[in-house]
């Protein structure tokens, strides 16, 4: 899943979303901090292509987007909304293709603005980024290209984009391109996105993750070609943080640790275990280091931190191939000590 797949709903319950063969499944807590329900298939019986995205709005609603096959060599995007963890998500509804028709073009990303409207970003066949935005009273705006065909051909989007909703409600999106990262942002909520800064950096495609890190800034985490995990905020230079522990993007959450505003990073390491690293938010120069936690995980497992109903750190490890879900929470003591992992 592209995006934060461990989410807290409006009622405090946690939900996880995972791809499974030709579907997307969800599991939710029966009560905050309590037992979990069995996996449920999202959106009916439609067959999907395993490559989905999820984003959550300030209203707590989760928006999911996936590709489905529509014919020989053809695919289209579908959308579902999940209002509350214990409710069934809506059926998948077709929302089209950034090039009107064709094959799957790339992994989508989803962000939700201050008005609760989902915005879907996905690569086009030409190498640019297409945007589809919900209307405030239902339906969807026409597809919009974030760059011209010539610009798209020069840039050549590589890997999944990373979309995020800033504290102001503006949506921003980052994408790895040839030789660097591009950035687009809404100048104000509800306005069309415009190109922001670009940075020349040897980024590994498929490693971008965006996070709100202050009232007016977001940070894009990525791994460079040397295996270094870096942080970039438009208007500044990328900052190396520490060596990436494994392949793929990190997961991140902003939290309070011993009274300090911190950013917590999580990843499945090359050794197979979950690892965590924390640093003061937007102060990467303070340094960070990985700490291993829990037993070895399946090769396809992903690790994600979130905040529970009390605002405390909780983390999940999820394996799509096995359906394994393990959970841990922070101990009630100084530092970032975690409890023993429990399979649910």
CB of 306 within 8 A of CB of 7? yes
Q: 188: which DSSP letter?
A: S
DSSP helix/strand/coil, 3: coil
Q: Which residues of the chain have pLDDT under 70?
A: 152
* pLDDT at 155 (0 to 100): 76
Number of Cβ within 10 Å of residue 201's Cβ equals 16
pLDDT in tens, 286-332: 999 999 999 999 999 999 999 999 999 999 999 999 989 999 999 98
Instruction: For residue 241, give Cα distances in angstroms to 158, 269, 318.
Output: 23, 16, 25
DSSP helix/strand/coil, 166: coil
* pLDDT at 50 (0 to 100): 85
For 317, what's the count of Cα atoms within 13 Å in the CB-facing half-sphere?
28
Q: How far apart are CA 314 and CA 301, in angstroms?
A: 17
Q: How far apart are CA 174 and CA 81, in angstroms?
A: 23
Tell me which residue of 198, 200, 240, 199 sits closest to 221, measured CA to CA.
240
pLDDT in tens, 2-31: 999 999 999 999 999 998 889 999 999 999
For 32, what's the count of Cα atoms within 13 Å in the CB-facing half-sphere?
14
DSSP helix/strand/coil, 75: strand
CA torsion through residues 306, 310, 313, 317, sign? negative
Number of Cβ within 10 Å of residue 261's Cβ equals 14
CA torsion through residues 111, 222, 16, 7, sign? negative
Q: How far apart are CA 251 and CA 210, in angstroms?
A: 9
Identify the helix (H) or strand (E) that includes residue 153. helix 149-155
* pLDDT at 284 (0 to 100): 95
CB of 222 within 8 A of CB of 208? yes
* pLDDT at 135 (0 to 100): 92
CB of 140 within 8 A of CB of 129? no
Q: How far apart are CA 210 and CA 215, in angstroms?
A: 14
């Amino acid at each position: 899943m592209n995006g934060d797949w461990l989410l807290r709903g409006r009622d405090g319950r946690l939900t996880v979303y995972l791809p499974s063969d030709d579907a997307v499944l969800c599991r939710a807590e029966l009560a905050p901090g309590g037992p979990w329900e069995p996996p449920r298939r999202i959106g009916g019986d439609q067959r999907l292509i395993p490559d989905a995205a999820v984003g959550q709005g300030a209203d707590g609603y989760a928006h999911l987007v996936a590709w489905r096959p529509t014919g020989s060599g053809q695919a289209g995007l579908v959308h579902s909304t999940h209002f509350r963890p214990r409710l069934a998500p809506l059926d998948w509804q077709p929302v089209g293709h950034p090039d009107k028709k064709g094959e799957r073009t790339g992994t989508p990303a989803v962000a939700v603005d201050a008005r609760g409207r989902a915005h879907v970003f996905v690569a086009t066949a030409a190498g640019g980024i297409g945007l589809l935005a919900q209307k405030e009273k239902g339906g969807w705006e026409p597809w919009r290209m974030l760059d011209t065909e010539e610009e798209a051909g020069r840039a050549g989007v590589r890997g999944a984009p990373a979309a995020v909703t800033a504290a102001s409600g503006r949506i921003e999106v980052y994408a790895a391109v040839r030789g660097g990262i591009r950035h687009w942002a809404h100048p104000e909520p509800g306005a069309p996105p415009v190109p922001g800064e670009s940075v020349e950096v040897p980024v590994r495609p498929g490693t971008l993750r965006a996070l709100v890190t202050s009232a007016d800034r977001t940070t894009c985490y990525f791994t460079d070609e040397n295996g270094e995990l870096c942080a970039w905020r438009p208007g500044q230079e990328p900052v190396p943080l520490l060596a990436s522990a494994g392949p793929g993007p990190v997961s991140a959450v902003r939290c309070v640790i011993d009274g300090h505003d911190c950013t917590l990073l999580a990843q499945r390491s090359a050794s197979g275990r979950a690892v965590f690293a924390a640093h003061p938010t937007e102060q990467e120069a303070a340094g960070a280091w990985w700490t291993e936690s829990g037993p070895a995980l399946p090769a396809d497992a992903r690790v994600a931190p979130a905040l529970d109903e009390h605002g405390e750190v909780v983390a999940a490890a999820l394996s799509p191939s096995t359906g394994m879900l393990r959970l841990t929470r922070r101990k009630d003591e100084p530092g970032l000590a975690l409890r023993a992992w429990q399979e649910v």
